Structure 1
């Protein structure tokens, strides 16, 4: 058995699980650097029976799967991965399994970004290190309106923290009802009202055909000049070109972003040059606790599959 673990940027996969439990003779290879481009991926992954993918860092469309004839098991961390073509896996007899996860760390990071924006944490830290003192006023969170786009598990957690801070919380998503909004600690409003009246808009939708580009030029133009956008969900929810224009022209006050259209974000990307952004390198799920569960469960998936009894299978059997 040849096992590949992909996109271990921080070199933690080997320490997060006891890989010595793999069947006798199994070979484990951990890839730290991203495999950029389908040709590179096809060459690097040829000959592997088992691949462990970290979330959606590496895509597995049908075209790539066709070039991996030895692949029999594909494990994704988490129980959902839009970057894997499950139907193509089913056709090729590739079993796809997922893993558990811990808590809702992306919701926690949402608040880290939101508070960093309103409290000017990055600017103040830089100024203080350079010998300056109190270079600008911060803002109070209490009393502001928080607009939550998507009120599922993560959005609900963000909304409840907002209420604890004394914010007025409103919410919208394509199928959200007033009753579900209230249960999630928010008040349902229409999309335009949310974007035009919120002081902070935070995104927590699943990316799909109906939500891709849900925040475009019209939504950004509706926002107040004093408002902020926070996205710890998926980059595809936002028209990145429209966001860059809004930030450059200061039509919104700023943005806190953990997800990007190209990851890892290239050096010199326009977003990194703007003073009104707070950026993190897709850390929403990257916690020690989460990775311990990811890799522990991935190993369990491999062991169960090797005995002919796969667990946590995702729509391929």
Structure 2
């Protein structure tokens, strides 16, 4: 029996067409799954009998309870070089090699600005009104030039967001627990002493931090209350950085001008989730890394990972952070 490879959560059904998988055809049968599996039982049932699984970012969790129920699994390829939802110890214990791929910071930077600009100029409301024959001009746009952009996090993505803000003529400030003055000077932004100061003084706030036990719930009700009523919040990083109930309350009560959100506690977002109907919210279905170039990178390197594994020389092997 030949090897079988499952590509999971291929929502757009493009994984097998954006790159050439034909080089594996003699050794591996590739099967793409477009639906999201709702629970572990459904996932295990679908992947039973597969030797290789290719998963995109952190869409699907692979805890020990899943890995232990997939006796044929030998290779797990995850896009990106960091994945917090894979149990690496369980993978090692069951003889499963985990490999990653490169990932570009450019797509999430561009989506961050799409959300921020969409919020600032009321694009969703204005487009809906124009299409429906509604009022001609119903919003008053927020200017970017001269306004303060506050960044929570100044890593690879945060730095690029900062440089775009500076190009717009914005005053850019940043904070994170480990941000140094040297790093802030390197990017050309102001380093503030605390997240509270950043929240109080910013007109636009954007999050660019890794989710960890230290950053989970970084912005709760008390922190959101520090934002100006004219301020906008953008989160393209991880939903867990922000208390979702507190954010919903701030939006419903009009305590902030709006929020742009690309990440959610539960994905895909349930049909009845209150985030779907929240006012002052511009939401996208976790599109941050979803671009043609990034998919070509992910799946092209997934093919490379599989070839290398079959040759007995795995590459881009991942383990605990």
Question: What TM-score bracket applies, with the shorter chain setting the length?
Answer: over 0.9
**Cα distance, 1:52 vs structure 2:** 0.1
Query: Structure 1, residues 1-30: CA drift from partner, whole Å, max 9, x if none?
Result: 110000100010110222221152522111
Please give the alpha-carbon distance, in whole angstroms, between the structure 1 residues aligned to 2:226 and 2:214: 20
Q: Counterpart of 1:79?
A: 81
Identify which of 227, 232, 243 aligns with 2:247.
243
Q: TM-score, normalised by structure 1?
A: 0.97
| Contact 2:152/2:205 (<8 A) preserved | yes
Q: Counterpart of 1:214?
A: 218
Please give the alpha-carbon distance, in whole angstroms, between the structure 2 residues aligned to 1:159 and 1:52: 33
Q: Counterpart of 2:143?
A: 140
| Contact 2:77/2:100 (<8 A) preserved | yes
Q: Counterpart of 1:89?
A: 91
| Contact 1:23/1:303 (<8 A) preserved | no
Q: Counterpart of 1:60?
A: 62
Identify which of 22, 29, 32 aligns with 1:30.
32
**Cα distance, 1:91 vs structure 2:** 2.0
**Cα distance, 1:103 vs structure 2:** 4.6
Query: Structure 1, residues 195-236: CA drift from partner, whole Å, max 9, x if none?
Result: 111111100001111111111111101111111110001111
Unaligned 5+ runs, structure 1: none
Runs of 4+ in 1 over 3 A off after TM superposition: none
- SS across alignment from 1:59: coil
| Contact 1:156/1:185 (<8 A) preserved | no
Q: Counterpart of 1:127?
A: 129
- SS across alignment from 1:181: helix
| Contact 2:62/2:87 (<8 A) preserved | yes
Q: Counterpart of 1:197?
A: 201
Q: CA RMSD in A?
A: 1.2
**Cα distance, 1:315 vs structure 2:** 2.3
Please give the alpha-carbon distance, in whole angstroms, between the structure 2 residues aligned to 1:186 and 1:88: 43
Matched, 1:287 2:269: no
Matched, 1:8 2:10: yes
| Contact 2:251/2:279 (<8 A) preserved | no
Query: Structure 1, residues 134-159: CA drift from partner, whole Å, max 9, x if none?
Result: 11211111111111001000000001
Q: Counterpart of 1:113?
A: 115
| Contact 2:220/2:246 (<8 A) preserved | yes
- SS across alignment from 2:17: helix
Identify which of 306, 309, 314 aligns with 2:313.
309
Please give the alpha-carbon distance, in whole angstroms, between the structure 2 residues aligned to 1:214 and 1:88: 30
Matched, 1:263 2:281: no
Q: TM-score, normalised by structure 2?
A: 0.96
| Contact 2:77/2:305 (<8 A) preserved | yes
- SS across alignment from 1:268: coil
Number of aligned residue pairs: 316
**Cα distance, 1:123 vs structure 2:** 0.5
Identify which of 99, 102, 105 aligns with 2:101.
99
Unaligned 5+ runs, structure 2: none
